[in-house]
Structure 1
Amino acid sequence: MTTSFSALVPPATWLRITGAWVIVLLFALFGSQILGSSMSGFTAAWVFILLFVTILATAFGVVHEADHLAEQLGEPYGTLILTLSIVSIEVILIAAVLLGPVEAPSIAKDSIFAVMMIIMNLVVGICLITGAARNGDQEFNVQGASAYLSMIALLTGIALVLSNYTSTPGEFSSSQAVGISAFTLLMYVGFLWMQMRSHRRYFVQPPEGSMSIPKMTTTTTDKSASIDKKSALIRSAVLLALILPIVLLAHDLAVVTEFGITAAGLPPAVGGVLIAIIVFTPESITAVKAAINNELQRSVNLCQGAFVSTVGLTVPVVLLIGLLAGKQVIMGISNAEILLFMVTLALTMQSFGSQRTSPIQGYMHLVLFGVYGLLLFNP
């Protein structure tokens, strides 16, 4: 049965699209005057609030449309669409900051690290606690969680830790940047291919009492025949209409954010945290809802999959921007951050290394996130 156009694009969606494009038009016409060299602190404050609310509301719209596509396509395709849509917004915002008028060589590593701490500690902790409160200890596909954690250890270790031990600590040389970009992208694309094809069963909720799905077991119903192509096409167009304003407003947000951080004397890493909050708040809410609905594998796909995509897409993009635009790109994280990364990885392996999750680990993840917040403002 074909769904009507008005049901596919309700008034709330039209409001998001219209509002976002009105703001885009406003800054296209008057952006140079608003964000000029004479911009005051008051102007910067209201412009930041306007852009922050607009982009966040639009990001919620992106998640809403991607979530409907997820229901149509089934796992893991649906989660991949949602994750890639969100991560593409993050890459756009980081690129806008890198190419902006203010030098921000560490914005990529700050954003990646902030995403890791927010997604893998704050959101995972909330998922484990709220999911257990509603459903008791929850089950998931341990093969999928193991695959995600292996990718996180590999890609993050190469991008953020290895760069501290090159000839220029914290940075990659031109040839290293090309090689690291190629290896990261190839590994990420290969991982996605296996996730969608030969090893799709790793990322689907297993039957109760099982940690995995046997190779020959049919995990999900083939939805290809039942997909409403018209509905999928309309939702894809709406998704694009919501993502484009974020692309066009990213540069303006980058300018006013850097102005505010400098004026307030805040640590530069706060810029990365703001990007992570803008981008991943809608997806984080979706992950928590999935845990509450006893769909923990979907939460795992959203949280760990989001971070894998963040590293797999952000690292090649920012390194290539650095090469092509002649921008300095600092990828190495501090010793304290390396320790937080190692503890996060070890704790996550414990949390998702057994057949069922425990809320005890959830509280541990929250404490680790609190330590990160403490060190962010008190380095």
Structure 2
Amino acid sequence: MIASLRPTAPHWTGALPVLAVVLLALTWGRSLPVAVVALVSCFLAGAVLAAVHHAEVIAHRVGEPFGSLVLAVAVTVIEVALIVTLMADGGDKSAALARDTVFAAVMITCNGIVGLCLLVGSLKRKVAVFNPEGTGAALATVATVAGLSLVLPTFTTTAPGPQFSTPQLVFAALAALILYSMFVTTQTVRHRDYFLPVTSSGEVIDTEDHAEPPSARAALRSLGLLALALIAVVGLAKAVSPAIESGVAAAGLPSSVVGIVIALLVLLPETIAALRAARRDRVQTSLNLGLGSAMASIGLTIPAVALATVWLPGPLILGLGASHMVLLALTVIVGTLTVIPGRATPLQGGVHLALLAAYIVLAVSP
């Protein structure tokens, strides 16, 4: 995420978040015509790209793996805000939105981002090299929290349907939050070296010595602009969400496709940053971004949504269906086999991308 930084940032990365927030204030709570929806969508895409840039500046200042953590948490803030606001407006029809969005985020990160980065890294340098200790720990945590939060509700019997009772939901939320906290501590404090980039020659990269880190003032400026960009992304995405829902319904697609669209939108910054890292032979950074985002998505979204059920109307459906549980199980198995050697060829990248394609096909045509 660092080599792409230029000594002088493009001027639009500073101005666009401010303009996007102004546009958000002008359009908030209003029914938008098609032309305005198109304008809002353009500013939304620009705000996402600006968020990527400012997250990279902060990452350059704090170093890895803290930089990956900054972007992962920032993206999850977007996801949580979107889910809660849409659930507040949707009532019973949005009962499964949190499940659909979180599961989409898991499939996109663990198969889409991971697969693309392994493919890019291995095609460029014949083999993609990463640290199996850190990557394996991240995958194990994702698999555990996904199983506790998204699989167990399908089989519990206290509450009707694929949902938790209140004590079960409290347990799942606390387990997700505690495991995420332990993961962050492991990644940034106790075993930080497990998550540092490893080049194809086996060199561990602890510092980026090819570019001067930004000053503290520049990093703080980027932190403020990142916050503005995230506010703009959340608000503008909320503004265009009725158009997304109407488009999905008009196309005759299942409502779960809305969750995929939201996940694709909020994970765009992660995807761009991860691909840049993979092209620079920093596949470990890419995996930190992908699996870290999956962990943040479950570990923070489930507790936030559980807390929101106190005032949100309607049920909260978290349990996955049979086909999605099969895809999750395949993702965990394939991910484990990919991680164990610490090296990957284009084949492993292709296998992960095939699982993502299967998920999208089954979402469109269950």
Q: What is the TM-score when the length of structure 1 is the normalising length?
A: 0.86
Match of 1:63?
Answer: 52
The 1:49/1:346 distance shift into structure 2, 3 A limit, reads farther
Report the alpha carbon displacement of residue 317 of structure 1 after superposing the two structures with TM.
1.0
The 1:117/1:206 distance shift into structure 2, 3 A limit, reads same
1:296 to 276, 279, 283: 283
Task: Check if 1:122 corresponds to 2:108.
Answer: no
Report the alpha carbon displacement of residue 161 of structure 1 after superposing the two structures with TM.
0.2
1:220 to 197, 203, 206: 206
Match of 2:221?
Answer: 234
Task: Check if 1:342 corresponds to 2:334.
Answer: no
The 1:267/1:222 distance shift into structure 2, 3 A limit, reads closer
Deviations 1:335-357 (A, max 9, x none): 00000001111111111210311
Distance (whole Å) between structure 1 residues aligned to residue 208 and residue 349 of structure 2: 35
Contact 1:63/1:86 (8 A) holds in 2: no
Report the alpha carbon displacement of residue 206 of structure 1 after superposing the two structures with TM.
4.1
Contact 1:110/1:272 (8 A) holds in 2: yes
Match of 1:189?
Answer: 181
Report the alpha carbon displacement of residue 49 of structure 1 after superposing the two structures with TM.
3.5
Contact 1:59/1:86 (8 A) holds in 2: no
Match of 2:196?
Answer: 204
1:257 to 227, 231, 244: 244
2:102 to 109, 112, 116: 112
Report the alpha carbon displacement of residue 210 of structure 1 after superposing the two structures with TM.
5.7
Match of 2:151?
Answer: 161
Distance (whole Å) between structure 1 residues aligned to residue 201 and residue 280 of structure 2: 18
The 1:208/1:271 distance shift into structure 2, 3 A limit, reads closer
Distance (whole Å) between structure 2 residues aligned to residue 366 and residue 244 of structure 1: 31
Report the alpha carbon displacement of residue 87 of structure 1 after superposing the two structures with TM.
1.5
Contact 2:199/2:282 (8 A) holds in 1: no
Amino acid at match of 1:205: P
Contact 2:60/2:214 (8 A) holds in 1: no
Distance (whole Å) between structure 1 residues aligned to residue 38 and residue 324 of structure 2: 30
Match of 1:93?
Answer: 82
Contact 2:198/2:282 (8 A) holds in 1: no
Tell me, what secondary structure is at the counterpart of 1:323?
A: coil
Distance (whole Å) between structure 1 residues aligned to residue 217 and residue 258 of structure 2: 40
Report the alpha carbon displacement of residue 241 of structure 1 after superposing the two structures with TM.
1.8
Distance (whole Å) between structure 2 residues aligned to residue 306 and residue 362 of structure 1: 18
Distance (whole Å) between structure 1 residues aligned to residue 271 and residue 278 of structure 2: 11
Aligned length: 354
- The structure whose Rg is larger is 1
In the alignment, structure 1 segments of 5+ residues that lack a partner are 1-6, 36-42, 214-218
Distance (whole Å) between structure 2 residues aligned to residue 361 and residue 221 of structure 1: 28
Instruction: State how 1:358-377 maps to structure 2 within 5 Å.
Output: 358-377=345-364
The 1:173/1:68 distance shift into structure 2, 3 A limit, reads same
Contact 1:100/1:251 (8 A) holds in 2: no
2:66 to 63, 72, 77: 77
The 1:290/1:227 distance shift into structure 2, 3 A limit, reads closer
In the alignment, structure 2 segments of 5+ residues that lack a partner are 1-6
1:51 to 40, 51, 55: 40
RMSD: 2.3
Distance (whole Å) between structure 1 residues aligned to residue 214 and residue 272 of structure 2: 26
Tell me, what secondary structure is at the counterpart of 1:327?
A: coil
Deviations 1:243-262 (A, max 9, x none): 22233334323333333333
Match of 1:40?
Answer: none
Distance (whole Å) between structure 2 residues aligned to residue 278 and residue 373 of structure 1: 15
Amino acid at match of 1:171: Q
Q: Out of 334-343 and 92-101, give the one that drifted further.
A: 92-101
The 1:270/1:207 distance shift into structure 2, 3 A limit, reads closer
Distance (whole Å) between structure 2 residues aligned to residue 335 and residue 208 of structure 1: 39
Tell me, what secondary structure is at the counterpart of 1:330?
A: coil
The 1:49/1:106 distance shift into structure 2, 3 A limit, reads farther
Report the alpha carbon displacement of residue 372 of structure 1 after superposing the two structures with TM.
1.4
Match of 2:24?
Answer: 24
Tell me, what secondary structure is at the counterpart of 1:304?
A: helix
Distance (whole Å) between structure 2 residues aligned to residue 253 and residue 143 of structure 1: 41
Report the alpha carbon displacement of residue 185 of structure 1 after superposing the two structures with TM.
0.8
Contact 1:174/1:323 (8 A) holds in 2: no
Report the alpha carbon displacement of residue 130 of structure 1 after superposing the two structures with TM.
1.6
Match of 1:39?
Answer: none
Deviations 1:294-329 (A, max 9, x none): 101001101111101111111111122123323311
Contact 1:93/1:254 (8 A) holds in 2: no
Contact 1:166/1:172 (8 A) holds in 2: yes
Match of 2:168?
Answer: 176
Report the alpha carbon displacement of residue 10 of structure 1 after superposing the two structures with TM.
4.2
